[in-house]
Structure 1
């Protein structure tokens, strides 16, 4: 009987000691940090994110994920409840993305700040502040991958269209034309070879022509200089042009003298000869006029003493 009593006492003591150890461990391990609650609202997919997942601010552990629920007020929106340390600098420009640990696929919340609005955002259990969630690198790769797949599909369709029988025939015809053009190009050097062979002779002839032109240019220069000298001699003082001008002036003076001096004398001589001729004519017609004088001529109309005849 005593053995049973001792065993019972030992068992109770052991249980009490175990409960005390558990309570002491819980008391020592209790959380002394006053966590600050925040809420992340997003319509993006959050694969791999689970409660108790880490919350990191630029790589530093600052909290945990508490709950993940659907928003009852906004269909399709997910609410992620997180708790972070009080000294975490959550501002109006802080945003959240999903990060992944290696290749395990386990996700965590990555907080970052672009510094555009550095104003602290207070939060409390009575009024929980919200943090914006932006697409993660995985989401961006997924979206770009879909765009790349769509472009690849479009390229494949175009390639299939290009490789239909009609286009294949056109492509083969183009290759055939290119082959013919290449063959024609091969014949060009052979056709040009005779011309290339004559190029040295043409070059030599061109050089001789240039030499002739150079000599002709020199002769033209000499002729120009000679003409310039002749022009200078003709136009210079006591030159031929000046002497010709003086001679012309002298001839003009002689002509003026003849016009103003000799011509009046010639006119007087002609008048005298005409008067002499008239006198001789009168003597031949009326010799008696030498003795009796010239008969009086009756006055004509308009002269003094004229009288009109009467009928």
Structure 2
């Protein structure tokens, strides 16, 4: 009976100590700073964002996400409610974007301010003030990638149209006609020399026929030049479109520049995660495993000897060969 009372007292003592430790932890980790509540209406999806996610102002943690729901005022939007401390300089020009933490995919709310308006953002009624939401870098990259693919597809279609079988046949035909026209001009010049050198001979009677042939040759050359002009206009138009698209892609702030910036940002984030986050996670895992082993040993010790919580561990009973060992009395027959 006495052992059961000791075990009950030890269990009650453990429960009381655990409750006191929990209350002390909550009291020490409580947030005593004043919080301001704002709302963000996002037309984009917030995949990866969870309640209690961080809210950062230019990279500095200033608050938490308190609630995520559908917006009843603007249909189709997602309504985020955030709590921000008083030290965050939220102004009328402050805007929000959705950021992601490296390779983990966890999202957070990123606040930024270009300094366009220094006036503080204040609520006009009972509802909290709303911070505008702008597309994130990932959304802009996705949109620009779609536009880039569309432009490349259009340019490829125009090049294919320019170099199709019919246009190639027309160009080859124009080149052949130019060759024939040059041959006709050469023949006409040779005949003219013969006529001028005949000095009234039999060949002088062929001059009208030569004039007719020259007229036909000039008409053929004119038709060939018109066809070449049309083909050259088509080539110039396609080249101008391709040059305009290339200039738009290569100009500062263009598609290639944005792709390069996004790639550098992702690489920088990956380096930071590999250099900072992973070593801390490994240390935290080792500390947690060590603490679990210590708690397991303490629980085993309390289970074997519950009186140790009240009276201490005490000295061990000396065994055979040790000083103070007393052999147990033999049982009576």
TM range (shorter): 0.5 to 0.7
**For residue 156 of structure 2, what is the aligned residue in structure 1?**
156
**For residue 2 of structure 1, what is the aligned residue in structure 2?**
2
Please give the secondary structure, in 1, of the residue aligned with 2:21.
helix
Tell me the distance in 1 between the aligned counterparts of 2:174 and 2:64. 67
**For residue 70 of structure 2, what is the aligned residue in structure 1?**
70
Change (3 A) 1:12 1:139: same
**For residue 229 of structure 1, what is the aligned residue in structure 2?**
none
In structure 1, stretches of 5+ residues that fail to align are 185-311
CA shift, 1:102, in A, is 2.4
**For residue 105 of structure 1, what is the aligned residue in structure 2?**
105
Cα offsets for 1:159-182 (capped at 9, x unmatched): 33234321232355578799x7xx
Tell me the distance in 1 between the aligned counterparts of 2:76 and 2:167. 49
**For residue 51 of structure 1, what is the aligned residue in structure 2?**
51
Please give the secondary structure, in 2, of the residue aligned with 1:117.
coil
**For residue 135 of structure 2, what is the aligned residue in structure 1?**
135
TM-score by length of 2: 0.49
Give the alignment of 1:1-311 within 5 angstroms: 1-123=1-123, 126-172=126-172
Change (3 A) 1:177 1:103: farther
Change (3 A) 1:116 1:40: same
Change (3 A) 1:155 1:177: farther
CA shift, 1:63, in A, is 0.9
Larger radius of gyration: 1
CA shift, 1:123, in A, is 4.9
Contact 1:37 1:84 in 2 (8 A): yes
Contact 1:56 1:62 in 2 (8 A): yes
**For residue 253 of structure 2, what is the aligned residue in structure 1?**
none
Aligned length in residues: 182
Tell me the distance in 2 between the aligned counterparts of 1:162 and 1:62. 58
Please give the secondary structure, in 2, of the residue aligned with 1:103.
helix
Provide the alpha-carbon RMSD of the alignment.
2.9
Tell me the distance in 1 between the aligned counterparts of 2:174 and 2:48. 55
CA shift, 1:5, in A, is 1.3
Please give the secondary structure, in 2, of the residue aligned with 1:65.
strand
Change (3 A) 1:83 1:177: farther
CA shift, 1:48, in A, is 2.7
In structure 2, stretches of 5+ residues that fail to align are 184-333
CA shift, 1:46, in A, is 2.9
Please give the secondary structure, in 1, of the residue aligned with 2:104.
coil
CA shift, 1:23, in A, is 1.4
Tell me the distance in 2 between the aligned counterparts of 1:57 and 1:175. 67
Please give the secondary structure, in 1, of the residue aligned with 2:118.
coil
Contact 1:36 1:123 in 2 (8 A): no
TM-score by length of 1: 0.52
Greater relative contact order, per chain length (Cα 8 Å cut-off, separation 6+):
2
Tell me the distance in 2 between the aligned counterparts of 1:6 and 1:42. 60
Tell me the distance in 2 between the aligned counterparts of 1:25 and 1:151. 59
Change (3 A) 1:172 1:93: same
CA shift, 1:81, in A, is 0.7
Cα offsets for 1:36-95 (capped at 9, x unmatched): 111011212333322222111111111111111111232111111111111111111111
Please give the secondary structure, in 1, of the residue aligned with 2:119.
coil
Tell me the distance in 1 between the aligned counterparts of 2:153 and 2:80. 37
Tell me the distance in 1 between the aligned counterparts of 2:142 and 2:109. 19
Please give the secondary structure, in 1, of the residue aligned with 2:143.
helix
CA shift, 1:126, in A, is 4.5
